[in-house]
Structure 1
Amino acid sequence: MFWRGVWGYLPANIVQGVVGLLTILIFTRLLSAEDFGRYALAFSVMSLAHVAAFTWLEAAMARFWAAQKPDEMSSHFASVWRTLAIIILAFAPIAALALWMWPVEAPLKLAVAAGLAGVPVRCAAKIAQERFRAAGEVGPAARLDIWTTAGGFAIGVAFALAGAGGAAPLLGLALAPLAALPFILPGEIKQTRDGQVEPGRLRSYAAYGFPLSASLALALALASTDRFLLAAFLDEATVGAYHAAYSLANRTLDVIFIWLGAAGGPALIMALERGGQGALRAAAREQASVFVLIALPAAVGLALVAQPMAEVMIGEDLRTAAASVTPWIAAGAFLAGMTTYYFHQAFTLGRRTGWLLAAMAIPALANLILCLILIPIMGLTGAAAATALSFGVAVFASIALGGRVQPLPFPAEALLRCGAAALLMAAVVSVLPDLGGLAELILKAGAGAATYAVATLMLNAAGVRDHGARLLRHPRLSFLRAAP
């Protein structure tokens, strides 16, 4: 199931990666530094509101679908979807009142309003997507992802050209899933027809999902505190530069982890539910190794080409500051991805998400303290360093507490072998000339990728030669094995 998902979700994640880069390339040029900073702040508010109100239902659909018996499925759907409708009825007036009372400037308030308006719509689309993933329906899940990503970007660009300022990207994020709902919602709602909203079921979903939502809120706070403190200590233009660097580095790594996690999470649940602890350990060991194999060189590579990538991708007003903090953000993004998409699986698999809340409270507090100490001293670099160090704390906290709930294998051998290959890649890239701009980016990225590929093959890092042999045995690639 894992590898079917990996290849099935690949097109969607290629689209996510391309759109992520285009978002930086286009919006840092169409929007002023201040408007880009407002977009960053509004995006953080939108994400926190989404997690606080709705994520527990998305998590319930993802985690409990595989455990349902055939005669229970309709009540599972009814409990999730009808509860969503009730929450939306409460969320809309509360969000509107809070926004009306918030004493901020009108452009920022408009951007936040655009983000909050799209939260219920995005949740409905996400619940459907989680059901697709849990059921192994890779095609529908991938198509929905492609549309919301590419469509949201195109709509956002149109609003930016029309002068919507910092609200433009968020309007795209709201309207793209809204356009998809007529095509996916009827089929999902149909499955609730014979079901009942069962209070006991909802209590178990809430007991599982609320701590998960709270932990994700802490993770978002960990990733967002720096922006609000930068705005308080410095200005919105600095927030814009920071968010540009964060989007460039973190989004690149996040796309990789989302791609692998979309296949990995459901596969681990299926392995545990239907194969037991032995099947889970084997699946988890393989997944962790693949995460390291792909994400570690991406993080190291981003740090190595921070300057030429910023020159190519980021608008002139933001690029110098953004390039200076990209290595810190890349390191934090790798640690965050391993924490969220691998080590945190221990809590969801064991259905002990209260421990997950504790695992995220520790780094969130560490991030607040480090930001308050480092931002006044180091400015932009202090914010990036504080976040990276905090995600390092998150890794250790998750391993320590997750081991009490559902021990998962630590990918020590993959880290050693892939780390050695990444060090060799860094050594090669460091001696290449600084040509500047696109030429330097192509030269260093190409040489680094080739070096890492050769090194991993020689070391068989993360079992890459074994994975390659498995790929060649795939029926669709039989022509590669044909005799000359």
Structure 2
Amino acid sequence: MSLRASLAYITVRAVSGVLSVCSLSLFVRGLGAEEYANFALGLAAAALVSTVLMIPLNTTLARLYGDSTLRARVQASLLAAVLGFGGGLLVAALVAEWLGASWLAPWVLPAAALFAATQGVLDFSVQRANSALETRRYGYLLLVKAVAVIGLGVATIHLFNGAPALLLAMSMACMISVAGSMRGRFSLRGCDASLAPRIAGFAAPLMVTCFLSYLLNWGDRYLLMHFVPMAELGRYSALADLTQQTLVLVCSGLGAAWYPRIVQAWGAGQREEAQRLFSRYAVIAVSLVMPAAIGFSFLLSPAAALLFGQGFADLPPNLPTLLVLAAVVGGCKSFYFDVPLLLAERTWQLAGGIALSAAMSLVLMSWALPRHGISGAAMGLLCGQTLGLLYSFLMGRAVLHHRLGSRQLFTVLVASAVMGCGLWAWQPGGFAGLLLRFLTAVLIYALVLLVLDFDGARARIAGALRRTP
């Protein structure tokens, strides 16, 4: 697996992340902090469906795709489950709204259910493209959805200006992206009920795991409803969404590039090749995630004020750093440290670790929120994510070793430190200044890596130049 292939996935995720940041900025400004809080709670409700039901089914597809004898039947069976769950939950949300049993603002729950259903189908299509190593199709699905969200979302805010309408617009964006992707690739014909025990044996523990993960990642929104005004919930949610749509995308892009190949090597019984790929994955991951975390901790506060307005100019001083660290730790855990446990199908073991970290996170949030406000929620989230990462690290060592050369780690540390010093020393204002700071930081980091010859960078560049006609 080459660095070029990893960068292809990262580039797709980065472009879609930039588009998502643009849409987030437009949504926060268009809705305002209080209405954005209702939108964020709708997203939290949708995330419950996508996290607990859709993600385990997609993960099952990724894990079982390597068995070519089961591939067609697994795809059909899982697609039927995705469509069935999505349709059933939409009906349930409509009934709850009709009975007045929804805990959200009017019509937010049905709109959130529709978004969860359409997002689930889109995620299934993306996972299938990734498992089949269809890089172009993978990028197409993500980028079309990101562009459609901006166009439909902005139009909806101007016409209707409400959280339910915006959630419906995002559902339409998912439908546009996935339109035609099923044809010739998916079919409900071949759905095999006899696969249910095999699928349930892997997916059911993951559903428990994902529910606990949902409490860890989204429980802060529900606690904030009871401890802070809606405007503060809106500010916290906007910042948390910004970090998730940037930093976690780096981790997920790397996972998309490496996980299918590790699964295929493991499924073929090639344990040494799986270990080699996993070790190589670690090298690439640390070289991208560490500078991203350091750089974003410097840039989040000025970026929030510029993107979201002056209401975000007086943030608690430690809030941006806490949210950045929580996003990075959570992304590394989910897309790197959990990989060995998923390969070994130790999903109940994984669930136990997430239960521990989720409980710790919610307890700490409940204690810290009345004392530290929205920063307290970020503190509890970071502590829970860190505990979960340590647990996965310890439990997964018996499956795959976490190997990273000391010279490579030292090189990344030095380059990140030099980049961080540059960001601290030079702080121009405005959008142009923010963009220039970012580009300069990337250039500094790349040059230091080149000077220190990280991972044989000079030889790789020289070889690429020799192959160029």
The alignment's TM-score, normalised by the length of structure 1, stands at 0.89
Question: Aligned letter for 1:174?
Answer: S
Q: Counterparts of 2:197 and 2:141 in 1: how far apart (Å)?
A: 30
Q: 2:77 aligns with which of 71, 76, 79?
A: 79
Could you report, residue by residue, the CA deviation over 1:366-414 in whole angstroms, capped at 9, with x for unpaired residues?
110110111111101111122122211111011122234x223144634
Does the aligned pair in 2 maintain the 1:271–1:280 contact within 8 Å? yes
What's the CA shift for 1:259? Answer: 1.5
Alignment of 1:353 with 2:351, yes or no, is no
What are the ranges of 5 or more consecutive residues in structure 1 without an aligned counterpart? Answer: none
Question: Aligned letter for 1:198?
Answer: A
Distance 1:142 1:431, change over 3 A: closer
Per the alignment, residue 160 of structure 1 pairs with: 157
Q: Counterparts of 2:100 and 2:294 in 1: how far apart (Å)?
A: 41
What's the CA shift for 1:473? Answer: 4.2
What's the CA shift for 1:355? Answer: 1.4
Does the aligned pair in 1 maintain the 2:129–2:138 contact within 8 Å? yes
Q: Counterparts of 1:79 and 1:20 in 2: how far apart (Å)?
A: 32
Does the aligned pair in 2 maintain the 1:52–1:213 contact within 8 Å? yes
Per the alignment, residue 215 of structure 2 pairs with: 221
Does the aligned pair in 2 maintain the 1:222–1:364 contact within 8 Å? yes
Could you report, residue by residue, the CA deviation over 1:437-461 in whole angstroms, capped at 9, with x for unpaired residues?
3354245334433332233233344
Q: Counterparts of 1:80 and 1:6 in 2: how far apart (Å)?
A: 28
Question: Aligned letter for 1:189?
Answer: F
Question: What's the secondary structure of 2:402's corresponding residue?
Answer: coil
Does the aligned pair in 1 maintain the 2:263–2:343 contact within 8 Å? yes
Could you report, residue by residue, the CA deviation over 1:304-360 in whole angstroms, capped at 9, with x for unpaired residues?
123322232222223422775111111111111110100111122112211111121
Per the alignment, residue 444 of structure 2 pairs with: 451
Distance 1:251 1:410, change over 3 A: farther
Q: Counterparts of 1:416 and 1:365 in 2: how far apart (Å)?
A: 35
Distance 1:98 1:344, change over 3 A: farther
**Runs of 4+ more than 6 Å apart:** none
Does the aligned pair in 2 maintain the 1:359–1:397 contact within 8 Å? yes
Alignment of 1:198 with 2:216, yes or no, is no
Bigger Cα displacement from structure 2, 341-350 vs 220-229: 220-229
Could you report, residue by residue, the CA deviation over 1:15-58 in whole angstroms, capped at 9, with x for unpaired residues?
21211220232112111110111111111110112222333221
Q: Counterparts of 2:259 and 2:313 in 1: how far apart (Å)?
A: 36
Alignment of 1:371 with 2:374, yes or no, is no
**Where do 1:252-263 residues align within 5 Å?**
252-263=246-257
**Where do 1:60-459 residues align within 5 Å?**
60-69=60-69, 72-100=70-98, 108-190=105-187, 192-193=188-189, 195-199=190-194, 201-274=195-268, 276-321=270-315, 325-404=319-398, 406-411=399-404, 413=406, 414-432=408-426, 434-438=427-431, 440-459=433-452
Question: Aligned letter for 2:129?
Answer: F
Q: Counterparts of 1:95 and 1:411 in 2: how far apart (Å)?
A: 48
Per the alignment, residue 41 of structure 2 pairs with: 41
Distance 1:169 1:345, change over 3 A: farther
Distance 1:100 1:55, change over 3 A: farther
Does the aligned pair in 2 maintain the 1:31–1:160 contact within 8 Å? yes
Distance 1:354 1:109, change over 3 A: farther
Distance 1:169 1:264, change over 3 A: farther
Question: Aligned letter for 1:82?
Answer: A
Could you report, residue by residue, the CA deviation over 1:114-141 in whole angstroms, capped at 9, with x for unpaired residues?
1211222222222222122111111112
Question: What's the secondary structure of 1:320's corresponding residue?
Answer: coil
Does the aligned pair in 2 maintain the 1:242–1:321 contact within 8 Å? no
Does the aligned pair in 1 maintain the 2:86–2:116 contact within 8 Å? no
Distance 1:207 1:253, change over 3 A: same
Q: Counterparts of 1:82 and 1:91 in 2: how far apart (Å)?
A: 14
Q: Counterparts of 2:369 and 2:73 in 1: how far apart (Å)?
A: 50
Distance 1:187 1:408, change over 3 A: farther
Per the alignment, residue 16 of structure 2 pairs with: 16
Question: Aligned letter for 1:34?
Answer: E
Question: What's the secondary structure of 2:397's corresponding residue?
Answer: helix
Question: What's the secondary structure of 1:263's corresponding residue?
Answer: helix
Does the aligned pair in 2 maintain the 1:245–1:325 contact within 8 Å? no
Q: Counterparts of 2:345 and 2:55 in 1: how far apart (Å)?
A: 16
Q: Counterparts of 1:48 and 1:415 in 2: how far apart (Å)?
A: 37
Distance 1:141 1:392, change over 3 A: same
- Percent identity, aligned pairs only, is 22
Does the aligned pair in 1 maintain the 2:89–2:113 contact within 8 Å? no
Could you report, residue by residue, the CA deviation over 1:55-110 in whole angstroms, capped at 9, with x for unpaired residues?
322122111111132xx43322332223334334432332333444565677x343
Question: Aligned letter for 1:119?
Answer: A
Q: Counterparts of 2:461 and 2:155 in 1: how far apart (Å)?
A: 41
Question: Aligned letter for 2:84?
Answer: I
Bigger Cα displacement from structure 2, 157-166 vs 321-330: 321-330
Distance 1:205 1:19, change over 3 A: same
Question: What's the secondary structure of 1:183's corresponding residue?
Answer: coil
